[in-house]
Structure 1
Amino acid sequence: MDWISPGKLKKLGILNMNRRNVGYIGRYNERSSFPLVDNKLKTKLAVSEYGVKTPKLLQIVRQQHEISHFRELSADLDGFAIKPAKGSGGKGITVIVGRDEDNFVKASGVRISVAMLERHLTNILAGLYSLAGTPDVAIIESLVQSSPALAKFSFQGVPDIRIIIFQGYPVMAMLRLATKASDGKANLHQGAVGVGLNLSTGRSLNAVQFNRPITLHPDTGLPLENIKIDGWEDMLEMASRCYEATGLGYMGVDLVVDANEGPLLLELNARPGLAIQMANGEGLLPRLTNIEALKRPHFSPRERVHYAMEAFGKH
């Protein structure tokens, strides 16, 4: 893999936080749309009308007395995910992957009782993980069974794909792989691996961990240079449709590939991070200005995807 230093990256049009906040988030994202993407439940309902699939919703816990229904529901479940609707950065998400008699097994292998999960639900309702500390809602979703082709590259956690969508066009993408350092979460700040993806083919480009270049996954030891995402064009179109669903001009779309259901939307982010540029070895600015300069924008998601694959892919 070719590595480009941070200094050279600046010359290639790196987007910094100031410019992102003022020139793109502030300019292209209506404040009225933020609550839609800051609430996972509202997101699920909004995107479903545009043919974007999400993990199956098993239960919504809005009030304390509804937690007793969770005990009944979980009695028949081997795997599920509990999420705060207004959580951010993966905070408060608990993923259960199996059972051990009366206990549940987390992705990390830790055993946890149903009483502990009920306390976790109480904490979610109290707003412990919400963006502003305000009362929240807990959602329980079916467990994502990651596609084996991608799961083998990740350590414990489910790998996901972040696609930056600008004015409905996919402009940059990366695969995020969990590590021991990131505690099984696909969070780059915590030590997950970011793998830049060729926008025209879905093949891996560069890989970074803690913003440093790597060629092998630190825990699985697998090479990261020949990864290919299946059904890539369909995934880009799915991400592109989120523009119509939300009206947000600049956002991060996080997808997973389920072994049975195919691509699913995990969440949307109205303030996506900038480390994706390091993973791709290229700055976002030239791609964003390319879209801004279009005389006639493309109206259908499929047309926008074809344009982006041609304009920003490496053939």
Structure 2
Amino acid sequence: MSFLASPFRLRRLGVLGMNQRNADFIMRYNPRHLYPLVDDKLQTKTLALARGIAVPELYAVITEQHEGKDLARILGDHEDFVIKPSHGSGGNGILVVCGRFGNSFRKPSGDLITLTAMQHHVSNILSGMYSLGGLSDQAIIEYRVKFDPFFEHICFQGVPDIRVIVFRGVPVAAMVRLPTRASDGKANLHQGAMGIGIDLATGKSRDGVFRGLSCDIHPDTGHSTLGIAIPHWESILRLAIQCADTVGLGYLGADIVMDRDLGPLMLELNARPGLTVQVANQRGLLLNLNQIDAMPNPSGRCRRTPEAGTIPACDPCWD
């Protein structure tokens, strides 16, 4: 699809724009008072655990600047972990550690980071450098998801995640975000990860996007990303639905990771999911959204059975 396509053609193809997303779906279906349940990752994790949703184990929470001085004690014997802001967005402020080397720690890229540098990073998190609105924040230290070897040929170093868009309890689109060298092993499109669309009915990968352009070859491994059957696909969809039920938002993005030993885990939720999933799938969101918006009770009709034929599909492809 050309990014210079006319507005008429974009509408015909069901492409959802940001203004329409905000006005017709986020503002209508996401009550403002529920935003903290997803904007605060600590609240999200606590609520998920209470509902029996599988999440990465929480090791520690740092809330005060003076606690950063005790980081070595707080980490204890943990050799691999993730430090991230509770109110972060866009993947900013996330530090992934996958091992120790002497008195330093190793990142997925192979670069080393000292304890002092990590303390400085924690201090930046607490001061609000990465938080929404720049307000003071908390630093979460949690289990680092173990890489599932299923993805080894289409992933660079880090752990991929799967973004599922859920509207009124029905999954309407999904993509897998693959870390690259450019993204420093993070599954974040804004930082250079690759997005691959997923067919909802079959769980197989299709078109992809890298740096805003259509792409079906991983830039680092050179392997094709087409036609790959995502394992545990039905479980992933059901987990996304359960997440939507838990926080009560009508339109959200659920980020799910595949752990080598634990299977699907909910990583975080987003009340304002981006629109790149349309480019990754080469399909607009609007046709699916309008179908479900017109249903009096979509959750009772199709969300509990995500087999082929029960989830509305958007047929028109982009040229």
Shared fold, TM over 0.5: yes
Tell me how far apart the structure 2 counterparts of residues 134 and 15 of structure 1 sit (CA, whole Å): 31
Superposed displacement of residue 147, structure 1: 0.7
1:39-78 Cα deviation digits (max 9, x unpaired): 1100001122332211000001111233344311324111
Superposed displacement of residue 283, structure 1: 0.5
Tell me how far apart the structure 2 counterparts of residues 278 and 82 of structure 1 sit (CA, whole Å): 30
Partner of 1:288: 289
Say if 1:311 and 1:134 are closer, same or farther in 2 by CA, change over 3 A: same
CA contact (8 A) 2:108 2:184 kept: no
Partner of 2:102: 101
SS at structure 2 position matched to 1:152: helix
1:219-249 Cα deviation digits (max 9, x unpaired): 1101111321111001100000112211111
Tell me how far apart the structure 2 counterparts of residues 87 and 289 of structure 1 sit (CA, whole Å): 31
Partner of 2:232: 231
Tell me how far apart the structure 2 counterparts of residues 145 and 252 of structure 1 sit (CA, whole Å): 22
SS at structure 2 position matched to 1:196: strand
Superposed displacement of residue 183, structure 1: 2.6
CA contact (8 A) 1:95 1:143 kept: yes
1:170-229 Cα deviation digits (max 9, x unpaired): 100001111122232222233221100010111011111123222211111011113211
For 1:194-273, list aligned pairs within 5 A. 194-273=195-274
Say if 1:117 and 1:30 are closer, same or farther in 2 by CA, change over 3 A: same
CA contact (8 A) 1:171 1:308 kept: no
Structure 2: unaligned runs, 5 residues or longer: none
Aligned Cα RMSD in Å?
2.0
SS at structure 2 position matched to 1:279: helix
SS at structure 1 position matched to 2:299: coil
Superposed displacement of residue 123, structure 1: 1.3
Tell me how far apart the structure 2 counterparts of residues 309 and 67 of structure 1 sit (CA, whole Å): 50
Superposed displacement of residue 5, structure 1: 4.7
Which residue identity is paired with 2:142?
Answer: E
CA contact (8 A) 2:207 2:214 kept: yes
Matched, 1:64 2:90: no
For 1:1-315, list aligned pairs within 5 A. 4-6=1-3, 7=5, 10-299=11-300, 303=304, 305-306=306-307, 309-312=310-313
| Larger RCO (CA under 8 A, 6+ residues apart) | 1
Which residue identity is paired with 1:100?
Answer: F
Say if 1:63 and 1:153 are closer, same or farther in 2 by CA, change over 3 A: same
Structure 1: unaligned runs, 5 residues or longer: none
